[in-house]
Structure 1
């Protein structure tokens, strides 16, 4: 401390002398603006003594713990997962076929045709058949989807439409006769198809769809109709150019003998041919239009479908949850429209799982480019000394290091979600189905929103070179942005998480069982809702703050408080405003609750992943980024903890300091951490993000034609 005091006095003395000398030379005409310019210059060109002070501070920080030795191969092996081999097959195929790699500048129509050639080549030439894994091994399917999306996000989405949505609806909502008839054609790409759920006027509210499918008992057919322009099927991937079939979601209408004439049996899915298999022309009664140029993903041919009395065989009803007999009788194993609707959407949850998983893949690419460039780019520094890396600046660490920690946290959370989904598909356990539904909704919303924000931060952190299209941030940002809307708008999905939490909260007080994801509320909610301990609220030691028990308790305490308070508010407002009005009045509170819960679940999964790592060096590195993820989240919401005295002022200050220090530590191993993602340069495809930094500028100038 004495050294710091002396350095500070020396710096102040030097600055005063400089000001006095300058004042004598300028005959005391220094103005206030001049002083400001002088102070700014000191920030940009610090004096040698000021630099020595920074060195001392950094040495003190670095001296606290032993430097982490991260072995990239061991950490990468722990991260890669058991399906990395299939991803490498995808990467190698596109590396061997440069003509199939998406160029930087390409028109919408050319991109669509290239995307189709890419998918057909992957299936028929590389013999990578994703469709069979949709049923046999979903984890392998999601691994392929992540790799394909890394090659071109449009290709990843087109593959998802073909196999997860169109193909998945046939497998999950249909019966054996549908699988026998369509599986091979879907698998081989002979039957390219669409998933026609969203309408011009209805998206998230699927029960409000207006397209109708009326049964005609005279011909044993369903008649598909678009009753008005609001019911036009809109944003339908594969529809504008390539699709030959569509899974059309419509209200099933059965004729009755009463005055109503028809009975609405709720939304069902139907296989509707939309183009002739040979001529590829639209079939009679089917109008197909192009949705046009989009902000991103222009390799996907989104179109609009309108039906005018299109007749399909009765067998084209995907009848797993409801069937119609030849004489027009409706049968179902589920007792109500709402139950059937819930079961139908529950079978389509794989789309959310895939988006959460793939979104983190996008974040890995962006974080790798931004961090590698931030290590390469040097800017300013002490006089007469080499410039320093921009990642050595605390402000830059604050931007990127918590993001890197979050990328690791999301990696383990989305892998956990995939495992849960695979387990659900095998067991069909009802409790697990509900758990996966809520967890996939929460993670899809949280991860895609975080990634969308982070892509802009990554671009900004690379300055002007981040704005060059060749360095990918623009295309990544534009292509990924719609992930926040796909498979359910994020705000709607977070509300589903909040609804589940409130149901479980009510169930807790009735003594019932809770789903796996929410079990911590049952185990210790009373503890979390009790008054904070005035002793522990002041503990500020590093060991305490980095204790996973403290971190989890803090996350869970916040969630429990939010849950209790919003339940109380809803009850209070419902008396005057009714249920819907009360919900709307508390909506922001409910969204905060859902996000808080998702963060708690992510942290719990991350902590368990750290514990399960057998390589000691990797374990230490993972513990570091896990601590940064946890403490950064606590600091970002420190007002909540301070307002209820969960954290005393001295502890809040200690959390802030430790978060900055952990960011500094993560910076020291940032290169190794992004290298452990094991993304080859030909997948990253951004010259400023090359693993070999000395080639970055030459590759960059070459790719822009210099």
Structure 2
């Protein structure tokens, strides 16, 4: 038996040996509704399939097992000062253990993003602190600067000897980076930049690390140099990044720098957010992060980019790593929330037949149809997140322009989709845990509060989704000019045939084998994306002629957002089905296929576009509804192993109602947390 399990595990790690495809699996497992129970799979095999960095996970989580004093207890109500000190101690413990986050971010991106996911359930404030110090402050130095900046700052940033900030957002401007007002004016006589906050609206706001720790900052400001005609006027070359000191070695504020604590927030109170005003702060000319633009001693501006628009896009493009990190951390929070809710639902007894034991709340269809589609989405997001990380690593290695555009769009869309979805899911998980989900000790409230801002920073989700739609429209228009399409957009090649009315026989087909056929599911989600894209392009042309492009876009804004979400869900299904095909173990593969089917069918049933377009006839919609219920029931039987496969140890999850060690008495840990003696 042990040898057999070892052989299976070895095959799993080596990759697929011609397993059944998702289509073949459908034919094997969907002969009507007869299949009521999915086979129990080996959780260890699923863990290894989901995660190729399990040894690293074990190391990181063991560090916190050895230092339980670093694990924040939400119910204790730490002050912001206490929480900030705890986060600093945790970060220093990571460094003392020999980890180099800056090296990960510069050379081992997959491990850096994985670390962000792991720490999300330790303390989201710690995850964000890591991101501010290494992805934002450190990343801006090494990605926007040149080799001299890297040599000067890299080691001190890595060891947290030089805590820093990413000072982009202003009181009046956040998402509209091009509209920032802070200015950096070159004084050619002293060869210095004079950094200034022209009015209160330009005060840098919500700047992480600023209130207490930050000694330097990457400040985004308008680069202004004297006009070459000697008139005394200033030429404004738009927003660039500058390294600006905030504090001296003793912690005193730098001359001309004024900082105030932003105070308590809805969540993430372990982060010392501050507001910064600059009053004629002088910094050397070399403090311009000059990878994309330089200014010489005389004030002459030059850039290798052919236009200001391309330079600005290249500057912001180097910051996509932050969105990737947030996506990974958000998936980590979603996994933890579902683990708590599903484990609780599986052991919580409530009501039952007369003269019979109570049944678990997870046995009720109402509970299943809340949690099982979210579990399916979590798996789809996990595989899509992994693909995004893979593409990001390849992009950094190859610098391929098409891949850069692909990663920019996918990171924007997936960050927006994942963080919005996770925020909603945490609330549903809290509801599914009843009153016990409201207890601070069970963590769902704190996770919801801490995660909420993920929808806003590193790009407001509504703005990011508009970026995705804009790129889709560009690819759509280019397709008419014969331009090649990037891989992510390849399905647009068939938009014409997919936009045609569906075959009447197919629109009425209710057979389960058909409904679970990957070809049908993929075509349906791609149809929706193609249809929304085609109709959006038509509407924009019509309204632009009447009202101009800005008014047309605004009028179609809800359509824009629907298109972007539909596109991301199409990509998610592709990655989920690819995972099904790659999985060797037949029992794991059956569960993954059921998750993929549920994810797609849930989207098809709940989007009215399919019925409005007669893509799904009423009787087919009813069949899909019944099948969703059936799949939820099947997945209920393996729901606990599916969340166990996330491999989150109890000392990291720390929610008494969701622990794997609950055993015969599921409330023992909960009672102990409330102060009752064993």
TM-score class, shorter: over 0.9
Deviations 1:616-653 (A, max 9, x none): 1111111111111111111111x211111111111111
For the pair 1:679 / 2:655, whether they are aligned, the reply is no
TM-score (norm 1): 0.90
For the Cα contact (< 8 Å) 1:498–1:594, is it kept in 2? yes
For the pair 1:122 / 2:94, whether they are aligned, the reply is yes
**Gap runs ≥5 in structure 2:** 1-30
Separation in structure 2 between the aligned mates of residue 528 and residue 201 of structure 1, nearest angstrom: 44
Separation in structure 1 between the aligned mates of residue 567 and residue 649 of structure 2, nearest angstrom: 35
Using the TM superposition, give the Cα deviation of residue 77 of structure 1 relative to its aligned residue in structure 2, in angstroms. 0.8
Residue in structure 2 matching 1:545, options 498, 511, 515: 515
The answer for the alignment partner of 1:667 in structure 2 is: 636
CA gap of 1:655–1:682, structure 2 versus 1, over 3 A, is same
Separation in structure 1 between the aligned mates of residue 610 and residue 600 of structure 2, nearest angstrom: 14
The answer for the alignment partner of 1:643 in structure 2 is: 612
For the Cα contact (< 8 Å) 1:570–1:582, is it kept in 2? yes
Separation in structure 1 between the aligned mates of residue 55 and residue 157 of structure 2, nearest angstrom: 24
The answer for the alignment partner of 2:461 in structure 1 is: 490
Using the TM superposition, give the Cα deviation of residue 80 of structure 1 relative to its aligned residue in structure 2, in angstroms. 1.5
For the Cα contact (< 8 Å) 1:86–1:143, is it kept in 2? no
Separation in structure 2 between the aligned mates of residue 253 and residue 62 of structure 1, nearest angstrom: 69
Aligned-residue RMSD, C-alpha: 1.2
For the pair 1:568 / 2:538, whether they are aligned, the reply is yes
Separation in structure 2 between the aligned mates of residue 475 and residue 205 of structure 1, nearest angstrom: 30
For the pair 1:503 / 2:498, whether they are aligned, the reply is no
Using the TM superposition, give the Cα deviation of residue 65 of structure 1 relative to its aligned residue in structure 2, in angstroms. 5.3
Separation in structure 1 between the aligned mates of residue 591 and residue 64 of structure 2, nearest angstrom: 33
The answer for the alignment partner of 1:146 in structure 2 is: 117
Using the TM superposition, give the Cα deviation of residue 412 of structure 1 relative to its aligned residue in structure 2, in angstroms. 0.2
Separation in structure 2 between the aligned mates of residue 696 and residue 247 of structure 1, nearest angstrom: 50
Residue in structure 2 matching 1:392, options 359, 363, 377: 363
Separation in structure 1 between the aligned mates of residue 109 and residue 168 of structure 2, nearest angstrom: 23
For the Cα contact (< 8 Å) 2:430–2:438, is it kept in 1? yes
The answer for the alignment partner of 1:72 in structure 2 is: 43
| SS of the residue 1:530 aligns to | coil
The answer for the alignment partner of 1:598 in structure 2 is: 568
For the pair 1:405 / 2:383, whether they are aligned, the reply is no
For the Cα contact (< 8 Å) 1:360–1:451, is it kept in 2? yes
Using the TM superposition, give the Cα deviation of residue 66 of structure 1 relative to its aligned residue in structure 2, in angstroms. 5.9
| SS of the residue 1:150 aligns to | coil
The answer for the alignment partner of 2:331 in structure 1 is: 360
Deviations 1:195-222 (A, max 9, x none): 0000000000000000000011111111
Using the TM superposition, give the Cα deviation of residue 117 of structure 1 relative to its aligned residue in structure 2, in angstroms. 1.1
For the pair 1:656 / 2:628, whether they are aligned, the reply is no
Separation in structure 1 between the aligned mates of residue 662 and residue 675 of structure 2, nearest angstrom: 20
For the pair 1:185 / 2:168, whether they are aligned, the reply is no
Separation in structure 2 between the aligned mates of residue 63 and residue 541 of structure 1, nearest angstrom: 13
Tell me whether 461-470 or 691-700 shows the greater mean CA deviation: 691-700
Residue in structure 2 matching 1:519, options 490, 497, 501: 490
For the pair 1:175 / 2:139, whether they are aligned, the reply is no
TM-score (norm 2): 0.93
The answer for the alignment partner of 1:577 in structure 2 is: 547
Residue in structure 1 matching 2:318, options 347, 355, 359: 347
Deviations 1:537-571 (A, max 9, x none): 11111111111110000001011111111111111
The answer for the alignment partner of 1:610 in structure 2 is: 580
The answer for the alignment partner of 2:23 in structure 1 is: none
Deviations 1:1-44 (A, max 9, x none): xxxxxxxxxxxxxxxxxxxxxxxxxxxxxxxxxxxxxxxxxxxx
For the pair 1:244 / 2:229, whether they are aligned, the reply is no
| SS of the residue 2:120 aligns to | helix
For the Cα contact (< 8 Å) 2:38–2:590, is it kept in 1? no
Separation in structure 1 between the aligned mates of residue 41 and residue 307 of structure 2, nearest angstrom: 56
Deviations 1:505-563 (A, max 9, x none): 100111111122111112x1121012211111111111111111100000010111111
Separation in structure 2 between the aligned mates of residue 652 and residue 209 of structure 1, nearest angstrom: 49
Separation in structure 2 between the aligned mates of residue 206 and residue 477 of structure 1, nearest angstrom: 28
User: 1:7-156 to 2 correspondence within 5 Å?
Assistant: 63-64=34-35, 67-81=38-52, 83-104=53-74, 105=76, 106-123=78-95, 125-156=96-127
CA gap of 1:143–1:321, structure 2 versus 1, over 3 A, is same
Using the TM superposition, give the Cα deviation of residue 86 of structure 1 relative to its aligned residue in structure 2, in angstroms. 2.1
| SS of the residue 1:266 aligns to | strand
Separation in structure 2 between the aligned mates of residue 103 and residue 461 of structure 1, nearest angstrom: 22
CA gap of 1:328–1:145, structure 2 versus 1, over 3 A, is same
Separation in structure 1 between the aligned mates of residue 347 and residue 413 of structure 2, nearest angstrom: 36
The answer for the alignment partner of 1:9 in structure 2 is: none
Tell me whether 289-298 or 526-535 shows the greater mean CA deviation: 526-535
For the Cα contact (< 8 Å) 2:169–2:204, is it kept in 1? yes
User: 1:210-289 to 2 correspondence within 5 Å?
Assistant: 210-256=181-227, 257=229, 259=231, 261-277=233-249, 279-289=250-260
The answer for the alignment partner of 2:426 in structure 1 is: 455
Deviations 1:154-213 (A, max 9, x none): 000001000000000001000000000000100111001000000000000000000000
| SS of the residue 1:645 aligns to | coil
Larger radius of gyration: 1
Separation in structure 2 between the aligned mates of residue 343 and residue 64 of structure 1, nearest angstrom: 52
For the Cα contact (< 8 Å) 2:293–2:304, is it kept in 1? yes
Separation in structure 2 between the aligned mates of residue 678 and residue 229 of structure 1, nearest angstrom: 48
Separation in structure 2 between the aligned mates of residue 175 and residue 550 of structure 1, nearest angstrom: 50
| SS of the residue 1:311 aligns to | strand
Tell me whether 94-103 or 173-182 shows the greater mean CA deviation: 94-103
Separation in structure 2 between the aligned mates of residue 210 and residue 66 of structure 1, nearest angstrom: 61
For the pair 1:198 / 2:169, whether they are aligned, the reply is yes
Deviations 1:476-529 (A, max 9, x none): 00000000001100000000011011111100111111122111112x112101
For the Cα contact (< 8 Å) 1:373–1:689, is it kept in 2? yes
